Amino acid sequence: MAFNPHVLSLASPPIPQAKAWGAAYDWALGPFIDLSQAVPGYPPAPPLLERLGAAAANPDYASYGPILGDNDLRTVYARHVGEFYGAGLAADEVAITAGCNEAFVVAMIGLAAAGDAVLLPQPWYFNHAMTLSMLGIEARPLICRPAAGFIPVPADAEALLDDRVKAIVLVTPNNPTGALYPASVLKAFYDLCRRRGLALVVDETYRDFLAPQSAPHRLFAEPGWRETLIQLYSFSKAYCIPGHRLGALIGSKACLAEIAKILDNVQICPPRAGQAALTWAIDGLRDWRAANSLEMARRAAALREVFVSLPGWQIESVGAYFAYVRHPFEGVPGEGLAAALAGERGVLVLPGSYFGAGQDNHLRIAFANVAIDVIQALADRLRDFGPGAGGKFGSRGGAPSWQTI
């Protein structure tokens, strides 16, 4: 049979490929340290688990629900976001989705057609680029430079615009770099999109992992935000329930009317037991989320201390969940380096090459996955890692896996 050429052109999903590298590790240095995937390194709050179990046992939640999500959750979430950003939002401006990835997919289907283009900051989240590619939409790179802290520059974006560009996507706190975009930068992008008649899609999946603070922007207070802005969010990460697949999209009522057409053909309705539990958790777990954000700050500080002690290694950006690290091995293929690190040192990180062209000198570290003592153990794992005698990678020897990827 024949397959869609847009799908055939995609690489295989990167996370399973990366996790396979760990099979070569012999545990001689201790437990395997997985810093590859954005998965919270602690369990959900026990009261949330209790409510999830009770909802799953309720036959009412085994039936179909509204396409855009149960109204109770949409109402509570709209109030929560409105309070946080200092704006008035309504339940009918919220769509609940099966994870934030789905929110992105349906937003892109709604905004652009095959042959159109969308600006993505690069380094980019690989699922965003893959989604656009399978839809036949050009993922046009908006290069973010280390010297600027991987913060995108609005003037650079404007220089890339033409009649094919339908939207600009921003991810803050960023995946993969961790960079937090300043409010002034977000406002400049909003003004650019409004002036040029484009959609601004802001993915704030990791906002709840920031230390408690004021709102990261005031875009929802702009009187015309409904004609320009779409916001994406993930309950999966903030509440440690990625397996329950729940996210959210905020947009105008006119936008959601179109999104509903797409969702009806993709999910019919989002998972319902999780929605019931989250309706309580948004207010019931405020203190729990705040404590987790403080723990993320402590883990980030511990990671900085590790890399200060490692000559040649440099954290170029670190944020709410991720660090983007420059390694000292110029010219070494990124996938091979990451595979060797997993197989020889039992440390799994993702190569920069997964996040766009020209990223081979970087590694993404999802430090939020593990406790501080595990982060501190990275110093010994990485300290003498590198090309050794006989052309092999790492002082422990072993097959030079970086040469064969």
Cross-strand bridge partners of residue 142: 121
Q: Per-residue pLDDT for 306 more than 60?
A: yes
pLDDT at 387: 66
Q: Per-residue pLDDT for 390 more than 60?
A: no
Per the model's pLDDT, the better-predicted residue between 45 and 404 turns out to be: 45
CA distances from 63 to 58, 212, 387 (A): 10, 38, 58
Radius of gyration from C-alpha coordinates of the chain:
21
Class for domain 46-285, per CATH?
alpha beta
pLDDT at 393: 53
CA distance 206 to 217: 14
CA distance 147 to 326: 13
399 — pLDDT class (breaks 50, 70, 90):
very low
CA 169 to chain CA centroid, nearest Å: 12
- One-letter amino acid of 358: G
CA atoms within 13 A on the CB side of 132: 23
Q: Per-residue pLDDT for 298 more than 60?
A: yes
Mean pLDDT for 299-326 is 94
Residue 93's SS3 state is helix
Mean pLDDT for 366-392 is 83
For the ranges 91-105, 290-304, 314-328, 383-397, which has the lowest average pLDDT?
Answer: 383-397
Query: Out of 3.40.462.10, 1.10.1040.10, 3.20.20.10, 3.90.1150.10, which CATH number does the structure's domain 5-43+288-403 have?
Result: 3.90.1150.10
CA distance 39 to 368: 8
CA 117 to chain CA centroid, nearest Å: 21
Mean pLDDT for 165-172 is 98
Dig out the tokens for 350 from the structure: 């993702």
CA distance 230 to 164: 19
Residue 376's SS3 state is helix
What's the pLDDT tens digit per position in 178-201? Answer: 999 999 999 999 999 999 999 999
List the alpha helices (DSSP H) in 309-347. Answer: 334-345
Per the model's pLDDT, the better-predicted residue between 394 and 216 turns out to be: 216
CA distances from 15 to 66, 200, 243, 332, 342 (A): 32, 28, 15, 20, 13
Contact 61, 73 (CB under 8 A): no
- Give backbone dihedrals phi and psi of 246, rounded to 5 degrees, phi first: -140, 130
pLDDT at 181: 96
Tell me, letter by letter, the H, E, C secondary structure of 38-76.
Answer: CCCCCCCCHHHHHHHHHHHCCHHHHCCCCCCCCHHHHHH
What's the pLDDT tens digit per position in 65-94? Answer: 999 999 999 999 999 999 999 999 999 999
CA distance 7 to 68: 27
Closest among 310, 252, 33 to 260, alpha carbons compared: 252
Q: Alpha-carbon torsion 337, 6, 153, 171, what sign? A: negative
Q: Per-residue pLDDT for 303 more than 70?
A: yes
pLDDT at 397: 38
Q: Per-residue pLDDT for 235 more than 90?
A: yes
What's the pLDDT tens digit per position in 102-124? Answer: 999 999 999 999 999 999 999 99
CA distance 185 to 76: 29
pLDDT at 405: 36
- Give backbone dihedrals phi and psi of 239, rounded to 5 degrees, phi first: -110, 10
Rounded to the nearest integer, the mean pLDDT of the chain is: 92
Q: Per-residue pLDDT for 400 more than 70?
A: no
What's the pLDDT tens digit per position in 256-290? Answer: 999 999 999 999 999 999 999 999 999 999 999 99
Return the domain boundaries, the chain: 5-43+288-403, 46-285
Contact 75, 91 (CB under 8 A): yes
